[in-house]
Amino acid sequence: MDEQRWIRQIQKKASEPAADALVSKYYKEMYGFHYKQTMNVDLSLDLTQELFIGALQAIRNYDSSKASFRTWLYKLASNRLVDYYRSKSYRYAQLAQPLGEYEVEDTHDFAISLEYKEDVQKVIGIVNGLDAKLQQIIRLKLFGDYTLPEIADMESIPLSTVKTRYYAALKYIRKEMEAVHDA
């Protein structure tokens, strides 16, 4: 497979064409993963760029016998998001961000987009308050579209533990969302 060849070329020779090919293969997918969790184009671009810079710098540590490259990227991206949401820059951005950064196509779609974005931001806020282990599972399942068995393998924990944590986190998120909607 080309991917394994690219990785070896990067690890052994720091091959720029191989790095470009590897980044190109996963860029849209990783950007989408970030965007689903931030709902912010510029921030998603920044996080995606940081992800690939970090991944290429750490690629010597990547071991294909432990996980696929795609899985390794998702784990790095998820950890980076946890770090970002804990950062001072995130807390500052929340204080400084204007409410509407939307392109208005028609008022009905705009209202739905605004409501969707607000709900997603509320869910993300709740997820950010969870323990890091729960965040990892929720992010991989909801935003990375991984199955629970895949997450168990990635995290090297029993499937029953992943299920327990996932469903407990979902229950907590639902409860918090209902409290927000009732307020």
pLDDT band at 89 (very low <50, low <70, confident <90, very high): low
Per-residue pLDDT tens digits for 45-63: 999 999 999 999 999 889 8
Q: How would you class 156 by CB atoms within 10 Å of its CB: exposed for 0-12, middle for 13-18, buried for 19 or more?
A: exposed
The two structure tokens encoding residue 150: 């895949």
> Are residues 68 and 34 located together in one domain of the fold?
yes
> Does the pTM exceed 0.85?
no
Residues in CB range of 16: below 8 A, 6 or more apart: none
Question: Average per-residue pLDDT in the chain?
Answer: 81
CB-side exposure of 52: number of CA atoms within 13 Å? 21
Q: Does residue 79 or residue 24 have the better pLDDT?
A: 24
Q: Evaluate whether 159 touches 137 at the Cβ level (below 8 Å).
A: no
Q: What is the 3-state secondary structure (H, E, C) of 86-105?
A: HCHHHHHHHHHCCCCCCCCC
> Are residues 56 and 130 located together in one domain of the fold?
no
User: Would you state the torsion angle of the CA atoms of residues 31, 51, 21, 33, taken in this order, to the nearest 10 degrees?
Assistant: -20
> Are residues 48 and 119 located together in one domain of the fold?
no
Dist CA 178 CA 98 (whole Å): 25
> Are residues 84 and 143 located together in one domain of the fold?
no
**pLDDT (average), residues 105-133:** 68
pLDDT band at 108 (very low <50, low <70, confident <90, very high): very low
> Are residues 4 and 41 located together in one domain of the fold?
yes
> Are residues 86 and 115 located together in one domain of the fold?
no
The two structure tokens encoding residue 169: 């986190």
pLDDT band at 85 (very low <50, low <70, confident <90, very high): confident
Residues in CB range of 130: below 8 A, 6 or more apart: 138, 169, 172
Q: Residue 61: what pLDDT?
A: 87
The number of folded domains in the chain is 2
pLDDT band at 113 (very low <50, low <70, confident <90, very high): low
> Are residues 56 and 116 located together in one domain of the fold?
no
The two structure tokens encoding residue 17: 């064409």
Taking the CB of residue 58, how many other CB atoms lie within 10 A of it? Answer: 11
pLDDT of 37 above 60: yes
Domain boundary among 66, 81, 97: 97
pLDDT band at 116 (very low <50, low <70, confident <90, very high): low
CATH code of the domain covering residue 156: 1.10.10.10
> Are residues 72 and 115 located together in one domain of the fold?
no
Residues of the domain holding 174: 105-183
Q: Residue 48: what pLDDT?
A: 94
> Are residues 4 and 91 located together in one domain of the fold?
yes
Residue 61 amino acid letter: N
pLDDT of 125 above 60: yes
